[in-house]
Amino acid sequence: MNLITWNIQWCRGCDGSVDPKRIIDICREMADFDVLCLQEVARNYPGLPGSSGEDQFALLAGLLPGFGAVEGIAVDVLGGNGKRRQFGNLILTRYPVTRVFSHLLPWPADPAVPSMQRIALEAVLAAPFGPVRVTTTHLEYYSEMQRRQQVNALRELHAEACAHSEDRMHAQKAGGPFETATRPASAILTADFNFRADDPMHARIVSPYADGTPAYRDSWQVRHGERPHDHTLGVFDHEQWPEPFACDFIFVTEDIAGRIEDVKVNLTTDASDHQPVLLRLKD
């Protein structure tokens, strides 16, 4: 199983060009990927630098025939042309998607800084080694208070999902919305977290649960030990980011950590201000 996560900055590269096809081409060069988790996907936002207001959700999905597309709309407003303007996350996968959850994350008022609504998009995938929850999100950049509450919400959502993994089947509810569907404890969490590896919020993500809920582990640390994370932001875009650092991580639950074959950061592409990260799991 090959999974790539990438904050694509509405498909805008360091050259200023918005090019969805370039995004997909680079991911294909990295691996024959099965799952693609993208953040900062835009629809009808002509005001974003380099964009003409193109529907990037549709364009990216159209470049991958045979893949299912799961949209996670965080920002949804009426545009000046009378059409919806939407911004959020996208999961593209060749595996069957058995369940989808769109979780709006906490967004408490913090008037001192700009901020936007954030979403955690969760899809249950029928992977070769069994069902797995893949969640991709993008936490607030400007407000530490909001980001901290969003981290706590991610932990609560994971505990909730693990509890639902024990749900019993109720035959009389078959065929309707009450029918029990798998929501496994096994999980992968990807994002531009907007915190660094030494931030207490990183430690909060991987901290144990008192009730025995399987904890997350940082896949980079599982694979590379104490070797510092490769930078995932500011490698090429020194105008926005004078100092490069890592803030794009992939966490996996303890039960599938042993499947990790490799974790790599693509340090050669400048098709976004972030670098894509590849996780390779054994089937």
| Residue position matching structure tokens 């915190």 | 195
Q: How far apart are CA 27 and CA 256, in angstroms?
A: 23
Residues 266 and 192: their CA atoms lie apart, in Å, by 15
- How much is the pTM? 0.97
Residue 192 has phi, psi (to 5 degrees) of: -85, 105
> Exposure of 37 by Cβ count < 10 A (0-12 exposed, 13-18 middle, 19+ buried)?
buried
Give residue 107's pLDDT band: very low, low, confident or very high (50, 70, 90). Answer: very high
How far apart, in Å, are the Cα atoms of 94 and each of 32, 125, 151, 190, 260? Answer: 11, 9, 29, 18, 20
Would you state the structure tokens that stand for residue 74, as one six-digit string? 């965080």
Each residue of 198-217: b (16+ CB within 10 Å) or e?
Answer: ebebbeebeeeeeeebbbbb
260-265: strand order across its sheet: 68-78, 84-93, 35-43, 2-7, 277-281, 260-265
How far does CA 143 lie from the centroid of its chain?
19
Rg (CA), the chain: 18
Compute the average pLDDT of residues 200-211: 97
Residue 170 pLDDT class (50, 70, 90 cuts): confident
pLDDT tens for 11-61 read 999 999 999 999 999 999 999 999 999 999 999 999 999 999 999 999 999
* Closest CA relative to residue 267, chosen from 223, 233, 226: 233
Task: Summarize pLDDT for 57-85 with one digit per residue, the tens.
Answer: 999 999 999 999 999 999 999 998 899 99
Q: What are the structural domains of the chain?
A: 2-281 (3.60.10.10)
245 three-class SS: strand
